[in-house]
Amino acid sequence: MAVPMRHTSAAILQKTIWVDKELRPHDVLKTYEMESHTDGSATLHVNMRATTLRHLRLALNAFLEDAALILRAMDTFERPDAEHAHAQGPLEHGSVGIAGGMPHETQKQQVPTAKSGHPAYPAVELLCEKYPVQRAALFQTFVDLQYAAAWCDLRAVDIPRDIQGDVYTFGGKGWAMLIGFAPDSTVPQSVLPMAIEQAFTTSMIADLFASLPEDVVQTHILLAMI
């Protein structure tokens, strides 16, 4: 992939983004090379290799999210009113976390947004709003199962949890799960979408199995880690 931009912007982007380690180094390899031009512009060449198309898509999405965040941050601080940037609101959410050292209460208000214009989004919209910490994983898993894995009768199900928690902690107030028929299954399967960095405890497992709908497979829960 070739990304044309100003030379200074390309250099900053390359130096900023290459330090992030891959979450799955055995599955994804990224290399960056900057090509300078005589007119003061440059092209950042990004080469990606992955073991599967799914890993390649996730790596590409992560790069585009991070690159957009970095470029918007540079644009903000290059403007004359840059010193008032924090007054305009908290910084944005990248593919890994929130940029900048914001207080915990501010971070809880910022969540990654799914593609609300996608035709599949209405099927998960309500639970994306109720469980924002699962929003990205829920939407992406639904799309993968519906279109790539060809699941049938796929639906999003609310699994509430009666504990003292909050919706910005994974499992804090419950979960959004996906239930449907895999191509080789005659009984509905349950899938729990989650981010790869989110913790999962034995008490969560017990609560999940106790709350499974009666018509789904009771012996296991599939984890979709994005």
pLDDT digits (tens, 9 = 90+) for 12-53: 888 888 777 777 788 888 888 888 888 888 888 888 888 988
CATH assignment at residue 171: 3.40.1350
* Whether residues 14 and 100 fall in one domain: yes
CATH assignment at residue 103: 3.30.310.50
Tokens for 211, please give them: 């709350």
* Whether residues 132 and 220 fall in one domain: yes
Structural domain ending residue among the three candidates 74, 107, 140:
107
Q: Is 116 within the bounds of a domain? A: no
pLDDT tier at 78, thresholds 50, 70, 90? low
Structural domain including 204 reads: 121-225
Whether the predicted pLDDT of 109 surpasses 50: no
Mean pLDDT of the chain: 79
Alpha-carbon gap, residue 113 to 68, rounded angstroms: 14
Q: What is the pLDDT of residues 174-223, one digit of tens each?
A: 999 999 999 888 989 999 999 888 887 888 888 888 888 888 888 888 88
Number of domains in the chain: 2
Q: What is the pLDDT of residues 129-154, one digit of tens each?
A: 999 999 989 998 999 898 888 899 99
